[in-house]
Chains A and B, each alone.
Chain A
């Protein structure tokens, strides 16, 4: 495309400005975690590391991180199994209602979170409570898994499309049965896609607040819920800021991992 030098420059400026927009708030979170002023007045009156010490002592935050990890791992495990099964069914078979199935996978993430949240919460009350199962970590995992399936599904589907069925046919010709082929041929080939999809699913779950609000029992506080509960308490502001800063810094890890593990140039899904 023969773009003029001017339009190239304009596009480069747009890109740079966009990145400034994306990163200024994150940089400020980091800077504010050292801001000596309790209310984060601007410009900072001085710098201090004491908020980091305060935050490290906060048992509530630590507890919440643990709950979030459990919920994320549970939801990711379910999403990996279900997402892979649907991807195989949709990619390898043609059947009546296949389009409806692929639409159904997207639906939980395409509908606003609050709708998914109250629908699940209502269903849990109707079905689980008579059985003696109250809202708790289990219901959070079920809720999260529902909208995490799509990330695994998209990754595995893209992978299956690219790799075709030739290697599996070769494996069968060499005498391997269905299970052996899956274990020794198909699964290793899928592994990068499963890791990428699983990582995205975990991230979605770790960050989710709306569905969590409606499906968590009284004792279950994930990190986003904990942050939200403390957000409007002036005393807690410095601690929140440190937790936020940690999350900003830690966000480099999964991005780096996903980039290396997936071996794909562009991420699919969410």
Chain B
């Protein structure tokens, strides 16, 4: 009886239904998540007591001054953005032709198999893959061994290794949305373009690219964001190099300086938010 009445009430009041649907998720995402982010950025304007390590709740811009005037941090910030851009470009250069071949060149019956082939490395653990590269890039490891007949040496541990490994790790995140986008693109549209006299390159530029642009952007959001915040791969194969994630991590852990870490962390957030807002209208977020 009670259930019937509750059902009737919900049926009559769509506003109530919506309110109930949104209540728990909004408490979680707005209060817990956005609240936590807000608290973090608030703490970027605080400082820590040099002697006790306790937080000093007084407004100061010192942390941001330090971040933006110290050439060390500027270099690390630029390097991180550079690595993220480079990884994204490499993923795109390797991933787009792969996605295109999967969706439009190979016989359709092969597509599910190839799709599983791209998905599987995604499910093998992140650390497993980074570790595999650590072993491969070691001195006298597989990479050195494979390059030695050409008279070359592997890059060893360092920034180059970091870029290679991050590209490897995030490549499936680029292929999958692009493949999905290309698969949705009707074959007839491409034929029509050809019938109207467009050469393959023209069809690609004027039809394929505009229609799969949101998918491409979705892929770059993954690769860019994942690279920008990474500090684990750097620790595993990066040798002595540091990225912005390492600075944040070190200031939280060893240095116990949350306000400074928070100030450093604003940089990737501002970059990512700017990117997200810039591409929001393309519909890329729904392709993620």
Contacts and interface: CB of A to CB of B under 8 A. Distances in A.
A133 interface: no
B194 A2 contact: yes
Contact of A142 (B32, B221, B236, B285): B32
Given A3-B200, A177-B7, A267-B119, A86 B22 contact: yes
Contacts of A26: 121, 124, 129, 132
Interface string A51-90: 0000000000000000000000000000001110110110
Contacts of A11: 97, 100-101, 105
Tell me the dominant secondary structure on chain B's binding face: helix
Contact of B18 (A95, A258, A259): A95
A216 interface: no
Q: Which of A115, A206, A258 has the most CB of B within 10 A?
A: A115
A108 interface: yes
A93 B225 contact: no
Range class of the B interface residue count: 35 or more
Interface stretch (B35-43, B64-72, B155-163): B35-43
Given A11-B100, A118-B258, A255-B120, A106 B285 contact: yes
Contact of B272 (A25, A82, A111, A268): A111
Interface string B32-52: 111111011001000000000
B245 A114 contact: yes
A132 to B, nearest CB: 18
Interface in B84-122: 94-95, 97-98, 100-102, 104-106, 111-112, 114-121
A269 B288 contact: yes
Contacts of A194: none
A112 interface: yes
A118 B261 contact: yes
A180 B10 CA distance: 13
B197 to A, nearest CB: 11
B40 A119 contact: yes
10 contacts: A18-B97, A25-B133, A88-B21, A101-B22, A114-B245, A119-B39, A178-B11, A210-B229, A210-B231, A267-B119
Given A14-B94, A102-B285, A126-B39, 15 more contacts: A12-B106, A15-B102, A19-B98, A29-B128, A40-B138, A42-B140, A42-B141, A101-B26, A114-B248, A115-B265, A146-B29, A149-B25, A178-B11, A227-B127, A269-B288
Interface of B: 3-4, 6-8, 10-11, 14, 17-18, 21-22, 24-26, 28-30, 32-37, 39-40, 43, 94-95, 97-98, 100-102, 104-106, 111-112, 114-121, 123-129, 131-136, 138, 140-142, 145, 168, 171-173, 175-176, 179-180, 183, 187, 190-191, 193-194, 199-200, 203-204, 208, 221-222, 225-226, 228-232, 236, 245, 248-249, 252, 258, 261-262, 265, 268-269, 272, 276, 280, 285-286, 288
